[in-house]
Amino acid sequence: MTLLIREEDVRRLLTMADAVRLVREALASQTTLGGQNLPRKRLDLNHGLLNIMSASVPAAHASGLKAYSVGRGGARFLVALWDRDDGRLLALIEADWLGRIRTGAASGVATDALAARNAATLAVIGSGKQARTQVHAIATVRELKDVRVFCRDPSHRSAFARDVESALGVAARPVDSPRDALADAEIVTTITTASEPVIEGEWLGATCHVNAAGSNFAGRRELGSSVLKMANTIAVDSLEQARIEAGDLLIPIEEGVISWDEVTELGEFLRDPTQHSGGVSVFKSLGVAVEDVAVARFVYDRAMAEGLGESTTFGEIAR
């Protein structure tokens, strides 16, 4: 039996606290239990892209793939989940919310590992759907007292600040420039569609943590090279995937500002927190399939326990 799980059920079953825990566990065990993560591949559509990524997560007893199209009609997301032990197709899951919440959760995990324990001021550059889950995740791991938001549209940033205050009970305010947002900020998240840098190193405090979550193309970046030059710690969710599509790192590496020897997978810091020595830290988030599969397995198990989803015989083969 295969379960078809709709968006509304994913929203009901998956909390941010759950997602942060699951993503932390998946990244911490990514290279220690025989798991695999296959980086994103992109296929051309007439007016867009079909993106495919997959992973095997032994701790979740699951393997799966995520496929999503981006084109003129918007974006559409699907996760297919298999049991790793017997190969059964467990579920087909609509995955817009699942993807947004796991992307936020990854920044939450990185912030918890790398930001100061008392960090309470967050600057957010970007105000789209993904930005909301970024703030939610960071508020899950730190007691935020001040959130500043900048995007190019004044009405959007004002609406975003109101939404944050209403949903999370955290003081939030729109500001007029990225530099204003970063002033004395202890945590920074960039979650934009920009192709050129939106922040520079000289705007950062001496112990600031930065989550760069908006770009996963080799020729695009949100961080100026000066940000990477300042960083004492540079972490990624997957080194293999970063070498393909992390423009935020590939461009300053090509410029000779940093080298790959200075880049470490976040899982290493989760297993041994003493590796982070303070100062400026950067987490380059690409979004990896191990996160999707771990979260999808949790959603499937919860759906089975609560009797949610639609049972089908899709994928069953007569023996």
**pLDDT tens for each residue of 174-184:** 999 999 999 99
Structure tokens at 99: 């993807």
Residue pair 59/29 in contact by the 8 Å Cβ criterion: yes
182 Cβ contact list (under 8 Å, min separation 6): 123, 188, 199, 203, 204, 208
73, pLDDT greater than 90: no
291, pLDDT greater than 90: yes
The reported pTM is 0.95
Q: Give dist(CA 276, CA 286) in Å, integer.
A: 20
Phi and psi of 207, rounded to 5°? -125, 30
**pLDDT tens for each residue of 78-119:** 999 999 999 999 999 999 999 999 999 999 999 999 999 999
**Position 319 confidence tier, pLDDT thresholds 50, 70, 90:** very low
Per cent of the chain over pLDDT 70 is 97
280 Cβ contact list (under 8 Å, min separation 6): 201, 204, 206, 207, 208, 209, 210, 227, 230, 231, 232, 233
194, pLDDT greater than 80: yes
In this prediction, residue 317 carries a pLDDT of: 59
**Position 315 confidence tier, pLDDT thresholds 50, 70, 90:** low
Average the pLDDT over 16-44 and give the result. Answer: 91
**Position 55 confidence tier, pLDDT thresholds 50, 70, 90:** very high
Beta strand 62-71 pairing with 48-57: antiparallel
In this prediction, residue 6 carries a pLDDT of: 98
**pLDDT tens for each residue of 124-165:** 999 999 999 999 999 999 999 999 999 999 999 999 999 999
Instruction: Tell which residue, 143, 153, 139, 259, has the closest CA to residue 189.
Output: 139
- Positive or negative, the Cα torsion across 306, 310, 311, 314? negative
**Position 304 confidence tier, pLDDT thresholds 50, 70, 90:** very high
Residue of 171 and 29 predicted with greater confidence:
171
In this prediction, residue 29 carries a pLDDT of: 86
Domains of the chain: 2-99+290-312 (3.30.1780.10), 104-287 (3.40.50.720)
Q: Give dist(CA 277, CA 285) in Å, integer.
A: 20
Average the pLDDT over 215-233 and give the result. Answer: 97
Q: What is the average pLDDT value for the chain, to the nearest integer?
A: 95
Residue pair 214/240 in contact by the 8 Å Cβ criterion: no
Residue pair 68/76 in contact by the 8 Å Cβ criterion: yes
Give the dihedral of Cα atoms 227, 229, 232, 236; nearest 10 deg.
70
295, pLDDT greater than 70: yes
In this prediction, residue 224 carries a pLDDT of: 98
274, pLDDT greater than 90: no
**pLDDT tens for each residue of 251-265:** 999 999 999 999 999
Amino acid residing at 109: V
**Position 277 confidence tier, pLDDT thresholds 50, 70, 90:** confident
